[in-house]
Every structure is written in structure tokens, then in C-alpha cells.
Amino acid sequence: MMMSRGTATMVRSVTGPMSARLFSIAAGTGSVIGAARISAGLAGSEKAVATWWIKSYPVIGARNASTVALGEKEQQDHKEETVAGGGATSGDQKGKEVVSYWGVPQSKLTKEDGSEWKWNCFKPWETYQADLSIDLKKHHVPKTFLDKFAYWTVKSLRLPTDIFFQRRYGCRAMMLETVAAVPGMVGGMLLHCKSLRRFEHSGGWIKALLEEAENERMHLMTFMEVAKPRWYERALVFTVQGVFFNAYFLAYLASPKLAHRITGYLEEEAIHSYTEFLKELDKGNIENVKAPAIAIDYWRLPADSTLRDVVMVVRADEAHHRDVNHFASDIHYQGHELKDSPAPIGYH
Ligand SMILES: [Fe+2]
Ligand SMILES: [Fe+2]
């Protein structure tokens, strides 16, 4: 990776078993000054190459240079953020750009078809094509006491979930993603602190687990476009997050191999839930609506994709999370630490 300031040139290369990426960004102030080229290699013929032009705006004093490409809701969020975040903003400037001398650079991206990149929450080089060929049926047979404890803990959580949501799989998926995005963040945070305490590398596991958390959060950002939570469901998320975050935190402190095994089984349940979701879609019990725009860009789906296509790629993601977490648990079981085995960064 090479980076220099001023004309700000950055070249980064990522290689891994499932993907290979190379892109470069040239940025400065002015109009169009460079291009970002991403080449993402997936298995066999699924190679995709996409090019995004980078525009850089005169940035002094402007935070989030443009909202032209944002949807109505995001524009409103942007407006609120601008007002809330600007210490220098006076009352009559409400809704206007924040003026600042900090010079934080803002770039605007445009897709190769000329349309503007809509999302501030993720960039083109973070997108990927899901590997749908992954084995969905793989299962870790619980043999040890800890494994059985993890397995039955997860199984026992499924019963109240089934009763609460019945066959409302859209809502169920959305609510479960609020939980699924927690383990990666907790594990990544604890490994981060451990790395600091011990003055040692993490083997890439901090990044891998935080990537998982972000990927799960993107599942939530996608499903909230097709299912709107009711007030009592929002309240439930508060409660569940409070309990689950702390419980998982303590579990990870006490036994990372148990914590990763629990997540591995949670992911197996997620695969099951999304398979049921697909069955309901195929039966026509759930309307196969158009895929949300955020999903089309995040998973590089064709423009005419539907909810079914989205559920397929999300399910593939869950299968990858399953593998990563069972693998992490196995590393501990074999008497090693995670840092002893290179982390599957970018494993999609
Ligand atoms: Fe998920
Ligand atoms: Fe997952």
C-alpha cells in the first residue's frame, strides 16, 4: 500500500483466496482528476471489473460536499447531521453546509455508467459479489461439553424467536440482524484491546471480525428498506441488545472458543431462517419486491434484482460467517491463539 499527501495518490492491493482487488485513487481539488478501478476476482468466470470516476470538490469548509445523489431520507439525515455537527453554524444557517477550516477532504464518486455514487456509509471498493457456491449445509457436530452448551443455547433461543415472529420473515430477518452484528464488534474490540495490552499483532483477526460486524450491519440497512419495525419491536431491540452485548462480552472474555462456537451456530440458524424466507417468497406468501438500491450497489447485483436475489446473497454471507467463527473456535480448541493463524480478511 502506498499513500502520499498533497496530490493524494493511493494504491492498495488486497489478495485473498476468494477475491483479489486492485484499485488506485488520485485525488486533489478541482473537478474530475482521477479514476478508481476495482477488479474483484471471484471463482472462475465470475470476475467483474468496474470503474468509478472520482471527483474531488473544493473541500475547505464543506462537509459532505453534495447531497444531490442522496435519497430523500438520507438528505434529511444529512441535513440534521449538518446542523447538529457544526459548532460554527448559526441559527439562520440551519440546513446549510457546515463551514470549517479543518480541510477534511471530501470526494464524490461516480459509477461507470455516469450516475453518482449514492452512499456515504460504504464506498465502491467495499462492494463485492457474493459467492453463492458456498456449501450451505455444512454443520459442526457438537461433541465436547462446550460445543453442546453452545449448540443448545442457540437452539433454545430459536423457540421464542419462532413464536414471536411466526412466518414474518422480513421482520424476523431485520430484527435478527440487530443481534447478528454484535459478536463481530465485541470480538474485534476485545482482540483490539488485547493487541494493545500485549504489544502484539492480531493476525488480521481484528479486521476480519469488524468486517463481519459491518457486513451484518449492512444486512440490517438492507432489510430495513423492506420491513418497518413497530414501536414494540424497536423497544425489544433495546432490551435484547443490552442483554446480548453484555452476555457475549463476558462469554468472549471467559472463553473465546465458546463465544465463536455460539456465533457459528447462530450463523447456521441464520442460514435456516433465510432458507425459510426463500420458501415463503417462492410460494408467493411474501411479495418478491424490487431489491433495495443499497443492496444492488453493495452486492453489485443487476439493476433488475429482486428481494429473492438479496436473500440469496445475504444467506451466502451468513454461510461465510459460519465458517469463520467455527474456524476461530477450532483454532482455540487446538490450543492456539487466533493470531497464530492468518485471518480470512475479505472472505465473502
Ligand atoms: Fe446477517
Ligand atoms: Fe451472519
Of 71, 62, 258, 74, nearest to 152 (Cα)?
258
Distance between Cα 307 and ligand 2 center (Å): 18
pLDDT in tens, 201-246: 999 999 999 999 999 999 999 999 998 888 988 999 999 999 999 9
Is residue 57 located within the same domain as residue 16? yes
- Domains identified in the chain, total number: 2
Mean pLDDT within 5-10 = 35
Which cell numbers hold the place of 176? Answer: 435478527
Is residue 161 located within the same domain as residue 286? yes
Mean pLDDT within 4-29 = 36
Region of poorest pLDDT, from 14-18, 114-118, 277-281: 14-18
Distance between Cα 347 and ligand 1 center (Å): 14
Is residue 243 located within the same domain as residue 295? yes
Whether 98 is in a domain gets the answer yes
Q: Which residue has the higher pLDDT, 95 or 25?
A: 95
Per-residue confidence (pLDDT) for residue 111, from 0 to 100: 85
Where do the H-state alpha helices sit in the chain? 72-85, 145-165, 169-198, 205-223, 231-254, 256-283, 293-298, 307-333
DSSP code for 144? S
Q: CB within 5 A of ion ligand 1: which residues?
A: 177, 180, 216, 219
Could you tell me what percent of the chain has a pLDDT over 90? 58
DSSP-derived 3-state class of residue 161: helix
Is residue 159 located within the same domain as residue 290? yes
Of 134, 154, 129, 149, nearest to 265 (Cα)?
154
Per-residue confidence (pLDDT) for residue 173, from 0 to 100: 87
Whether 194 is in a domain gets the answer yes
Q: Which of 66, 97, 126 is the last residue of a domain?
A: 126
Is residue 88 located within the same domain as residue 180? no
Sign for the CA dihedral angle at 252, 258, 261, 263 comes to negative
Whether 211 is in a domain gets the answer yes
Whether 133 is in a domain gets the answer no
Which cell numbers hold the place of 180? Answer: 447478528
Is residue 116 located within the same domain as residue 166? no
Distance between Cα 317 and ligand 2 center (Å): 6
Whether 103 is in a domain gets the answer yes
Whether the model clears a pTM of 0.95, i.e. scores above it, the answer is: no
Where do the H-state alpha helices sit in 86-131? none
For residue 263, which ligand has an atom nearest its CA? 2
**Domain with 210 in it:** 145-340
The full DSSP string for 168-184 is -HHHHHHHHHHHHHHHH
For residue 348, which ligand has an atom nearest its CA? 2
Whether 55 contacts 110, CB under 8 Å:
yes
